[in-house]
Chain A
Amino acid sequence: MKITSAADLETVRQAGLQKLQPVKPRIAVGLATCGIAVGGSRVYERLREIIKRDGLDIILTKTGCIGYCKEEPLVNITIPNKPLVILHKVTEADAEEIIKLVQKGKVPADKALCRVPSWDHVTGCILEYGKGFTKIPLYGKVPFFKGQQKVILRDAGLINPEDIDEYIAVGGYKAAIKALTGKDSETVIKEVEKSGLRGRGGAGFPTGLKWRITRDAKAEKKYIICNADEGDPGAYMNRNEMESDPHMLIEGMIIGAYAMGAPDGLIYIRAEYPLAIKRLKLAIGQAREYGLLGNNIFGTNFSFDIGIATGAGAFVCGESTALVASIEGRTGRPHPRPPRLTDIGGGLFGYPTDLNNVETWCNVPVIIINGSDWYARIGSKDNTGTKVFSLVGKVDRVGLVEVPLGTTLNTIVSDIGNGGANNKKVKAVQTGGPSGGCIPFRLFDTPMDFENLNKAGSIMGSGGIVVMDEDTDMVDIARFFINFATGESCGKCIPCREGLKHSLLLLNRILAKKGTKKDIETLALLSDTIVATSLCGLGQTAPNPVLTTLAYFREEYDALVKP
């Protein structure tokens, strides 16, 4: 069936609601890569066996990840007219007990993390589940969730990412139909501009402006690309967005393609994300079946389709010009800009191309559905909206945290993350991956926004927050990131190729206690030159971990060297 009107969409929505809130019990196992890694699929298999063995009338399905990595595997139980209950740290051994209780309309209280009486999917759709289970804490009272605001992760861990009907059930594709059938290109771009949305890949370029430049470029053809080459150590928000809610990305791209007049879209995704690739392919196929991708979407004369291009394991291919080279089948090496991707001759196969990060695209549907004013009220000045951070390292509550931009590091690390793991004191965080920098605990009142992070010597990057505690050796941390960047340098320009290598050699010498004060000075000078003279963003930012640890933890360097 092809969806060509709001009425068609509503029909599918009702069918989807039947799947999300069926008249019989539903068990959904959190099966994103993270859930699978800690045994989620074994739990799923065991549950499936029992249901089959006993011929039970229970629906078993998959869901993505709600972001609380520490508590996985997570299992959602939906019993008609009762709150949705999220069970945590579930193992195969719990399966029999879970099934036994669910049959009686109950849930294992000792395994319950929280209950969800109703859930706002932020698209104007609030799902009411029901009342009861009052002894189980409310979702909003769980300390990890309390300070969060779910906009991007609104469906993650609640709907089945492999079923388009469930996405439509919670208000999906409403924004696309609203834009394609009720707004012209200019209105859509204005709406995105007014929302203040900035690129979530790290640089924070205004998205609306990039769209405008691409649309206004005079060319017979244009492309839009989604950058899903997420590669920062410790960053996995994009992976979860694609694995848990792939249609959100597709819907964002449809709206963008319409606004910019691009008939072709591509998702450039790293090959190391096989599950995300699988789910995206599945989602694209389902969207085509409903006519949401392909010719004459919603019966309009707008046609658009999405293809998938996989990377071959190079971090530098997240850089725009290297990314395009990689798609075209050339070696993934950056070239000087201009020409930029949006320029004629600079983009994919020479056509003007708009490149946005996964999370940037994911922001688009809510902006269209709720309006730019609504969106601009979230976050802080010039930094609107929410951002998903992956809170990892030596922090107590590891997971994906979504908060309004401008939330302080203290709130994220100390309140939501509950400070250091095993009651250790937190010493610093590294934000923005290998391109970012270390921020010491005394600066934890730094608001997480593009400008303030730059002021602290770090960057937003894609949103990784790696926590270090009192036992962490900061010089070793600097070496870890320099080692990563050295291995990922493409080798085109000398400051990055040779400069990072010599930074690594110097750090090795210092850490082996064979260094001198002069080595530290050389390291600092060399880092400055790499920043100032490298060709692309990789080299220009790679020394940040050295520069920030030198600025904030100089005493740790000094303690390692001979005077």
Chain B
Amino acid sequence: MTPGEVSSTDGQKKQVEVRINGKKYPADEGEIILGIAVREKIAIPHLCYEPSLVPYGACRLCMVEVVKRGKRELTTSCTLQAAEGLEVVTDTPEIVKHRSILFELYLAEAPKSDVIKAMAARYGVTKTRFLKKLDTTDSLGNKCILCGLCVRACNEIMGAGAIGFVNRGPYTVVNTPYFEPTKDCYGCGACVKVCPTNAVEMEDAGGMRIMKSWSETKVPLLRCDCCGKYYAPKGLAISILARITPSLKEETAALCPECRGKRIAREEILAGSGGAGNHG
């Protein structure tokens, strides 16, 4: 499933045609315009969009111009749904003007982010007129742009709710409640994976996974019986194991994926060569 396809499995969606920059594209009715753009390789910058999460509309970079009731207006393409005859333009002089200011704001908000620098440069913005935010105590290394992807993944996908927004307005940061290590964190690392600016840091050391950005929250890891390597967060593994068949559970619980693979392969070979008798 390509990103942006809201639901390609049911096959019941009405087909519509939308126009992006004058060119016609087929789409499912209700499909997110930014998703179509990603699929069709039309460049629209974006930071807070993730097809598996509820549309959020916070980064404001994906603004497009849409004609509604004869009036042209700016709207975010990550919240705009495809409808028959919908017409959007992605690069009017007005959009370019506002987008450039937004990039300047991002450069000031996350001055240490190379991702932001590169993205802004692609749209011709290399300098910011605004005062750069440099906080040496920032656990996200002055790279966070508050797109909320980590918070939403933790809540909406993992159901953990370990992190959230703290404070409001320009003082908003992402962290655990009261900036204290939290027991709610599975240590799954979804936040690290989903962060568009690589701001979230995590490290495995001595049987512990340390969520460095989240108040040094420590999550114990599970050790492989065979090779002795730490391979998965314990709590998460236990909750997943509780949901799988008992026979599978036993070997999965004890071995890391690598050792498990080796063991399965060995058993297969043994079975194919007529039994376990000739194995030294």
Nearest-neighbor residue (CB-CB) of A337 within chain B: B79
How distant is the Cα of A532 from the Cα of B102 in the complex, in angstroms? 11
Q: Which residues of A461-498 have CB atoms within 8 Å of chain B's CB atoms?
A: 486-495, 497-498
Q: Which stretch (B8-16, B166-174, B255-263) binds chain A?
A: B166-174
A492-B108 contact, Cβ under 8 Å, with A331-B165, A336-B79, A535-B57:
no
B58/A494 in contact, CB under 8 A: yes
Set of chain B residues within 8 Å of A487, measured between Cβ atoms: 169
Nearest-neighbor residue (CB-CB) of B128 within chain A: A502
Q: Does A335 contact B (CB under 8 A)?
A: yes
Q: Which residues of B90-134 have CB atoms within 8 Å of chain A's CB atoms?
A: 94, 97-98, 101-102, 105-106, 108-109, 129-131
B169/A489 in contact, CB under 8 A: yes
Q: Which stretch (A86-94, A204-212, A522-530) binds chain B?
A: A522-530
- Listed by A's residue number, 17 A-B pairs whose Cβ atoms lie within 8 Å are A331-B165, A333-B165, A488-B169, A490-B168, A491-B168, A492-B148, A497-B169, A502-B108, A502-B130, A525-B101, A529-B98, A532-B74, A532-B94, A532-B98, A533-B63, A533-B98, A535-B57
Whole-angstrom distance from the CB of B72 to the nearest CB of chain A?
12
How distant is the Cα of A491 from the Cα of B170 in the complex, in angstroms? 6
Set of chain A residues within 8 Å of B58, measured between Cβ atoms: 492-494, 535
Q: Does A403 contact B (CB under 8 A)?
A: no
Q: Does B209 contact A (CB under 8 A)?
A: no
**B-side interface residues toward A, CB under 8 Å?**
55-60, 63, 74, 76, 79, 94, 97-98, 101-102, 105-106, 108-109, 129-131, 145-146, 148, 164-165, 167-172
**A-side interface residues toward B, CB under 8 Å?**
314, 331, 333, 335-336, 486-495, 497-502, 505, 522, 525-526, 528-529, 532-535
Set of chain A residues within 8 Å of B169, measured between Cβ atoms: 486-491, 497, 500-501
How distant is the Cα of A493 from the Cα of B148 in the complex, in angstroms? 10
A336/B57 in contact, CB under 8 A: yes
Set of chain B residues within 8 Å of A494, measured between Cβ atoms: 58-60, 102, 105-106, 109, 145-146
How distant is the Cα of A500 from the Cα of B109 in the complex, in angstroms? 13
A533/B60 in contact, CB under 8 A: yes
A314-B168 contact, Cβ under 8 Å, with A525-B101, A529-B101:
yes
How distant is the Cα of A486 from the Cα of B164 in the complex, in angstroms? 20
Given A488-B168, A500-B169: 15 more A-B contacts, CB < 8 Å: A489-B170, A490-B169, A491-B146, A491-B168, A491-B169, A491-B172, A493-B57, A494-B105, A525-B101, A529-B97, A532-B98, A533-B74, A533-B98, A533-B102, A534-B60
How distant is the Cα of A333 from the Cα of B151 in the complex, in angstroms? 14
B60/A498 in contact, CB under 8 A: no
B102/A529 in contact, CB under 8 A: yes
How distant is the Cα of A490 from the Cα of B98 in the complex, in angstroms? 21
B105/A502 in contact, CB under 8 A: yes
